[in-house]
Amino acid sequence: MSDNQKILYEARKEANEEDLKKERERIRKLNTENAIYFNFSYTALKMLGKNLYNNPLSAVAELVANGIDAKAKDIYVYIDMSDKQHSTIEIIDNGTGMSYDDLAEKYVWVGRNKRQDEALSSEDKEVIMGRKGIGKLAALYLSSRYYIFSKKDNVESRWFLNVAAYKDSDFPKLDRLSSSKTIASQAVWSQNNSGTAIILENVDLRRTGSKKIEGLKRNLSDYYLIDAIGTKIWVAVVSKKGQRIVFDPVKKAVAYKNFYAIYDNTNYKIAEKIRDSISFTWLSQFEHIKNEERPTIVLPASQFVTSGEADFQREDGTKTKKSYELKGWIGIHATIDSKDAVDVNFIRNEIYHPNKLRIYVRNKLAVANYFDMRESTQTMANYIEGEISFDILDDDDLPDIATSSRQDFLDDERVEKLVELVDPIISTLFKLRNKIGQQIRAENNEYIEELKEIERRKKEEAERAQAEAERLAREEFVKRELAEQKVQEEKRKRLLAEQEKNFAKNQTYFLEKQLSGDDKTRAYNTHVIKSNANNISDNLVTLLEDHPECKDIDEIRAISIADQKILTAVKYYNSVMYGLENKIIKGNILKFIKDYVEEVLKKEYLSMEVLLANPIDCIFSFPPQDLTTSLENIFSNAAKHEANKLKISFDREADCIIIRFSNNGERLPENCDTKQLFEFGYSTTSESGVSIGTGVGLYQIYDLIVEDLGGNVDIFNDKDNGVTLEIKIYEDKL
């Protein structure tokens, strides 16, 4: 700064001080022994009071700050909200107190900068929180009638202010209280040799819920740096008449043990309060991953620049060099879900949100949350909590940049400097929390792949064992069949020999015997059909594995469906009335499903519990062979995916009949495309996309229900467990 600029700056400063002295002298002449006038009109006080605070609790916190500035060792806050519309609030401190001269010269002087009090030492001026001289208006925000009791030098005076009858142009005044007045916290007030008591009556707390009042201690602990102010704050809340008054101390309740990483350059060893390690149980379903303790991280204070010197602009536009320093701690929570938090102090609800990066100036809260001032698109911003001080934001030599609400800062080069210092710390914490989350997700995926590999090997081993068992069973069956054929052949030869003796008679017997059929011969014939159908199925599997493009050939699809029908029909040849014939019948399709399940499928799948609802009337033309093939596929798929329970229900909606098959087997993969499951050759039992088997089961169901019957079919995971196949048949097509 040049010499001329310095001279101009000092001249302006002296002129402003001279104007203030003249105004002060004018108001002083109005004062009497029993009345002390404010230097603002009532309308000005009202407007200031309403704009300064957004809720009663912040106004209470401001009055507490006045006690801290008065060097109080203890401050007591008493709230009686037994009548919420006419509540009483008392704030009592044992600070320096105020004499008549203090009230006349300082208290009623709105806009007085306490830091410029010549009676204060330079050390005291450094810690004074107030600057604007308007904190006293918090009382007017809360009530139009309040009392001030003050003790100083063994002299107590009592005053009251009642603005209810004032005109806007009137100058409010403090009137000496001539009558005695008792207060609820009289026991606390009586033990003070010096200090101040503010008693507010008829405070309207109807919009302040009991939960918010209960959270007052937490909010007060956040409003100040408790460890630094050297003042104990006590709170008592009475919600019912006659309730005993109990003052509880205000303490920080930070959930330090819920932090994964922290930065700390304070003198209070905050970083030592976090756990050495923490487990992220909510990020995995696997016990060995969810219970693994992950080491927490303490960032070295030397890793970041937090102090320095810079030129800042004064009120008159000149520059001055100032030192700045960022002090505090910033942590990132492992989780923000209360049910997963490992620290009992972690409370997050509609009343209290701990995850905030609080900014303090001179040990008092200046900005409730850094991210309200510095908006972040990072989802991890909700995981950040901390308390940082940056006193340069309220330096006496620099302009006041606080907003009218006193709870935020305007754009300024000091705010830019704060962002410059804080953002690298936050960014590092974001990266650490994202990194551990990605690491755990990678461990989950790796273990899932291991489980899949184990399951694949088990499946291959089971398939090899099954194939070997089937081979041995076929060999044994063939042996028995050959032996039986030999017996039958010998029997036939004996019959032929007998027929030769009596040709005419025996010829008729032979023909009748052949026409009636033999159960064992019929079993052999159906076995031959089944063996050939199985050969067709095996060859289709090989074809689709070697040539996946064949899935799109219509003839291949037709062969696979026909093969499925043959296998189903032969399997239950002796149990159903329609045999191997593929024809269309008309009847109650739902009753047909119920009868077929009860008479055939329940006997085949004995290990599966089948819950079957009573059918409703639904007369419809349908191919029984195709329908029973579809039912066989549904039961087969459920058994293949380890279901031991299958529920079948029938419902009617406005325009359709709904049939639901719900099993408790393995669920579909989360990323599964259910529409693709109904495509030919695709199955969830194959990792390659080509099914084990022909992959025709769901495709055959889709072909019957959608293509032939004009209905709709869908498959999805149930809400709790298992899978549901849903079939809709529209009644307008009956």
Residue 410, phi then psi, degrees to nearest 5: -75, 165
Average pLDDT of 45-64?
A: 73
**What's the whole-model pTM score?**
0.59
- Report the pLDDT averaged over residues 153-164: 87
* 368-377, 502-511, 579-588: range with lowest mean pLDDT: 502-511
Q: What is the pLDDT of residue 6?
A: 47
> How large is the greatest C-alpha to C-alpha distance in the chain, in angstroms?
156
Q: Which of 398, 408, 324 is nearest to 368 (CA)?
A: 408
Q: What pLDDT score was predicted for residue 36?
A: 80
Strands 645-652 and 656-663: antiparallel
* Residue 210 pLDDT class (50, 70, 90 cuts): low
Structure confidence by residue, pLDDT tens digits, 114-125: 665 656 666 665
pLDDT for the residue numbered 579: 46
Look up residue 236 and give its two tokens: 């008592």
Residue ranges of alpha helices (H) inside 339-412 are 370-373
**Least confident stretch, 369-378, 613-622, 650-659, 713-722:** 369-378
Nearest to 112 by CA among 143, 148, 141, 136: 136
Return the pLDDT at 34.
Answer: 84
Find, among 330, 329, 359, the residue nearest to 266 by Cα. 329
> pLDDT at position 308, please?
95
Token output for 171: 């100058």
Give the mean pLDDT of 595-613: 88
- The CB density around residue 149, as the number of other CB atoms within 10 Å, is 23
Mean pLDDT, residues 287-296 = 94
% of the chain beyond a pLDDT of 90: 35
State the DSSP code for 597: I
CATH architecture entry for 533-733: 2-Layer Sandwich (3.30)
Q: What is the mean pLDDT of residues 705-715?
A: 89
pLDDT of 181 higher than 90: no
Which residue bears the tokens 């409370």? 347
Cβ proximity of 330 and 424 under 8 Å: no
Question: For residues 110 and 12, what is the distance between their CA atoms, to the nearest angstrom?
Answer: 21
Query: If you average pLDDT over every residue of the chain, what do you get?
Result: 80
Q: Quick one: CA dihedral 524, 527, 529, 531, positive or negative?
A: negative
Distance CA 535, CA 499 (A): 40
Q: CA 716 → CA 176, 611, 701, 725, distances in Å?
A: 79, 19, 15, 7
pLDDT one-digit tens code per residue, 663-694? 999 998 888 888 888 887 776 555 444 344 45
31-249 CATH: 3.30.565.10
Contact 409, 373 (CB under 8 A): yes
Note whether 363 and 388 are within 8 A (CB): no
Q: DSSP per residue over 114-127, as a string?
A: GGG-TTS-HHHHHH
Q: Give the span between the Cα atoms of 73 and 39, in whole angstroms.
A: 30
Q: Which residue has the higher pLDDT, 220 or 520?
A: 220
Distance of CA 448 to the CA centre of its chain: 25
Mean pLDDT of the 406-411 span: 64
Sign of CA dihedral 38, 41, 43, 47: negative
Q: What angle do CA 563, 568, 570 make, to 5 degrees?
A: 95
Cβ(378)–Cβ(350) below 8 Å:
no
Q: Residue 573: pLDDT band by 50, 70, 90 thresholds? A: low
Look at residue 54 and tell me whether its pLDDT is greater than 80. Answer: no
Lowest average pLDDT, out of 7-16, 143-152, 544-553, goes to 7-16
Q: What is d(CA 293, CA 297) in angstroms, rounded to the nearest whole number?
A: 13
Quote the pLDDT of residue 229. Answer: 86
Torsion of CA 631, 635, 640, 643, to 10 degrees: 150
What is the mean pLDDT of the segment spanning 545-567? 71
Angle at 224 (CA atoms; ends 223, 225), nearest 5 degrees: 140
Nearest CA among 256, 13, 250, 41 for reference residue 113: 13
